[in-house]
Structure 1
Amino acid sequence: MAPRQKLRSEETKQAILTAAGMLFANRGYIGVSMREIAKEANCSHTTIYIYFKDKEELLHAMSMPPLLEVQRNIDVIANQTSLSPEAKLKAISMEFLRFCLQHKSIYQVVFMVKGVRVDEVEPVLEINRIRINLFKAIGQALQNVFPIQPNSDRLLRFNRIYFFMLNGIINTYLLTDESLSYLMNRLSPAFDEAFDTLLSGFKLKITSEG
C-alpha cells in the first residue's frame, strides 16, 4: 500500500472509531447501527466493513487501548511499596474514576451494556476480561486495608458498597461538559470525604461486630 493510500486508510479508520465513540455516548451501543456510524464518519456503509466485520469488533478496537492503559496504571500503583494500603486504594480508585470520566462512551458500553458478572470465569470478550481484572484490583486493594477473610460475605458486601460509591460518582458526571482536569479537581474533595467516611464506617463495623 502506497504511503498516501495508507495514511488515508488510517484516517478513515480513525474517523470510524471517533464516530462510533460519539454515537455510543449519545445514543447508546444498542441504539446505533453500523450504517449510522459509517454515515457519521463520512464513509459508505460498505467501506466500514473493510475495517470492522461488525459492531462488536469496532467496540473492541475502540476500547482496548484505553483499557490496557488504565490496567497498566493501576498495576503500577498496586506495586508501589511506598504507599500505605489506604493511600494505594485511594490512588487506584482515582485512576479508575479518571478513566471512566475521560472515556464515558467506553464506560457506558463496556461496564454497563456489554458487561458480564464480575465472577464470570471465562468471559468471551477480552474487554470483559480486563474489566473484571480492574474490579479485582480495586477489590484486592480494599481487602488489603482490612483484616477480612478472602471470599467472606463481609468482604463481598464491602466491595459492593465501595463500587456503589464509585459508580455513583461516575454516573453523576456522565453528562457534564466540563473538562476532565477541571472535573477531577472539583470532585476530588468530595471523593476524599466520601472515601474517609466510608472506610471509617467499615472499620467501625468490623470493630463493633468483631
Structure 2
Amino acid sequence: MRELVYYVAVSLDGYIADPQGRYDAFLGDGDHVEVVVGEYGDALPAHAHAAMGTTPPGTRFDTVVMGWDTLVPALEAGIASPYPYLRQVVASRRKREVADDVTLTDDPVGTVRRLKAEDGDLDLWLCGGGRLAGSLAADIDRLVLKRHPVLLGAGIPLVAGATDGPQPFAPVGSRTFGSGVVVEEYARVRA
C-alpha cells in the first residue's frame, strides 16, 4: 500500500509557518537544497522548476494533499495549479473555486484512505497545513522534516488538533547540513 508522507519544513520549536502563515524565515538556499531539489523534486511547485530549469523527477510522489490555507499563497500569486504534474487534492470545509486539475474534498480522511489503497509505486505527499495534519495524524505513515535553525515563537504548529492520542514513530535517519538545516525522517510504528 502507498504511504502518506508528511514532508514539510519546520522550525526548531515545531512551527511550519508564522502566525500569518508566512514561511520566509526558513532558509531558501544552502547545501540542503540539493536534497530538496534532487530527492524531493516532486514536491517543488512548477514555477520553481521553471525558474531553476529543472523538471520534476516523478520518482517519489504522484499526489499532493494540502489544506486550503496552503494553496492560498499560490492563488494570491496567480498560480491556480502549483503542482500540475501531481494529482492535487485540497481539503476545504467550504465549496471553493479551484482549477480543473485540482480536486476539492471535504472528507480528507476518506479521500486519503482511498488514495493510499490504490495501486502504484509512488506515495502521497501531505504538504500542509497543521490542522489538516492533525485530522490525518492516524494515517501519516512517514514524517520527513526539514528542521530549520530558527525559532518562530508562535505560528502554525506541525500538527494541530490530533485527537487519536499518541502517535508513535521511529527514527529512520537524520542528515545535518552546513546550512544548519537537519532533514529528519521517521516511520510510523504500527502495533
Tell me if TM exceeds 0.5. Answer: no
- Looking at secondary structure, tell me which structure has more strand per residue: 2
Q: In which range does the TM-score fall when normalised by the shorter chain? A: under 0.3
- Looking at secondary structure, tell me which structure has more helix per residue: 1
Structure with higher RCO (Cα < 8 A, 6+ apart): 2
Give the number of the structure whose alpha-carbon radius of gyration is greater. 1
Give the TM-score taking structure 2 as reference length.
Answer: 0.25
